[in-house]
Amino acid sequence: MLSVHDTYGRTIDYMRISVTDRCNLRCIYCMPSGGVRHIPGKDILEDEEIAQIVTSAARLGLRKIRLTGGEPLLRKNLPFLIESLSAIDGIEDIGITTNGLLLKKYAPVLAAAGLKRVNVSLDSLRTERYREITRGGDIRDVFEGMYEAEKAGLLPIKINMIPIRGINDAEIEDFARLTTYTPYHVRFIEFMPITPGKLWAEKRYVLTGEIKERVSSLAPIMPVKVRKSGPARYFRFEHAPGVLGFISPLTHHFCSSCNRLRMTCDGKLRPCLFSETEVDVKSAIRNGASDREIERLLRRSIEIKPEGHLLLRSETSFDHLKPMSRIGG
């Protein structure tokens, strides 16, 4: 089977594609309350353009696609896009990362279109706190959405939780307990300095070491192997149906096993979340680039993938970074 490697020998087989920069929430760690300036509709990649790029990527050896945003379920005809991507030779797995609000409506049709799994971002299990963190979201929609996703077979459902000190870190134990009575994969993700603002300046991030310690104080946890685990390290409580994941962009350099390429919704290939270096594939396509030329641009962005980042270095500045909703988290 074909595969493609970067300069540091990492196999690149995974592409995260932002399909919209719009969102129906304004999470405090991701967006300012007034939202961010939107990219004009004409600059957003069309379905056919995304499919053309993914076809070239699959030819190079990329196998897994994750659609994200903004909120991917806000994109018109998302099922149609998923259907065309899942028909591409070589693409084995398509997932989405979503806030889950619209899953209730779309889970069955997405599954029928070829979607394999969902990651749901959920940072509180409490109605009021959820509303505050998301600036207006109704948690009942998320729970109903996860229920529909489960019924539609989009398994395993992964919950992404970002503990932020003084905001929701008191719920770390509650999220961990969820795995003792549900099959969910609960993944704790270290808060990253994208849209850094006040929360980052106040050092509100909670590091994996502390999260793990607090989780293990409930009961011993043991490492487990999970297929397609990506950057997460997985554990479970004895006899628990669910799994605990830890994703540590700050403290644990998952860079050494990074297998991904990103594409923004306006068609910029981005080798790393923390570097502003981009390769403009949209302009190439709109100027009539051949598949060969697109492959060349994909290879180029893989070649320039940096070895890693130094997020916790105090002299590192993040002011230049685009909002997460635009890059695609």
Residue 221 · residue 215 · CB < 8 Å: yes
**Minimum CB separation from ligand SAM for residue 273, in Å?**
10
Q: Strand 93-98 relative to strand 64-68: parallel, antiparallel, unpaired?
A: parallel
- Using CB under 6 A, pick the residue from 23, 221, 258, 279 that binds ligand SF4: 23
Nearest residue (CB) to ligand SAM, 121 versus 248: 121
160 binds, among ligand SF4, ligand SAM, none (CB under 5 to 8 A by kind): ligand SAM
- Give least dist CB 145 to ligand SF4, A: 12
Q: Least Å distance between CB 193 and ligand SF4?
A: 15
- Of 135, 50, 64, which is closest to residue 93 (Cα–Cα)? 64
Contact between 91 and ligand SF4 per CB under 6 A:
no
The 3-state DSSP class for residue 125 equals: coil
Residue 299 · residue 12 · CB < 8 Å: no
Query: Judged by CB under 6 A, does residue 160 bind ligand SF4?
Result: no
Q: Which is nearer to ligand SAM, 239 or 320 (CB)?
A: 320
| Contact criterion met (CB below 8 Å) for 190 and 172 | no
**Partner that binds at residue 31, options ligand SF4, ligand SAM, none, CB closer than 5 to 8 Å by kind:** ligand SF4
Residues that bind ligand SAM (CB under 6 A): 23, 29-30, 68-69, 71, 97-99, 121, 160, 162, 189, 191-192, 194-195, 324-325, 329
**Closest-approach residue to ligand SAM (CB):** 329
Residue 175 CB, shortest distance to ligand SF4, in Å, is: 17
The bridge status of strand 233-237 relative to strand 221-223 is antiparallel
Taking the least distance from each CB to ligand SAM, the nearer of 69 and 267 is 69
- Choice between 122 and 294, CB closer to ligand SF4: 122
Give CA–CA dist 122/113, Å, rounded.
25
Bridge partner residues of 64 (DSSP): 14, 93
| Residue spans of alpha helices (H) in 158-207 | 172-178, 197-201
CA 6 to chain CA centroid, Å, is: 21
Q: Which two tokens stand for residue 37?
A: 């300036």
Identify what 242 binds: ligand SAM, ligand SF4, none; CB under 5 to 8 Å per kind: none
Distance in angstroms (rounded) separating the CA atoms of residues 177 and 171: 10
Q: With CB cut-offs between 5 and 8 Å by kind, which of ligand SAM, ligand SF4, none does residue 192 bind?
A: ligand SAM
Instruction: Specify the length of the chain in residues.
Output: 329
Q: Which residues bind ligand SF4 (CB under 6 A)?
A: 23, 25-27, 30-31, 69-71, 99, 121, 324-325
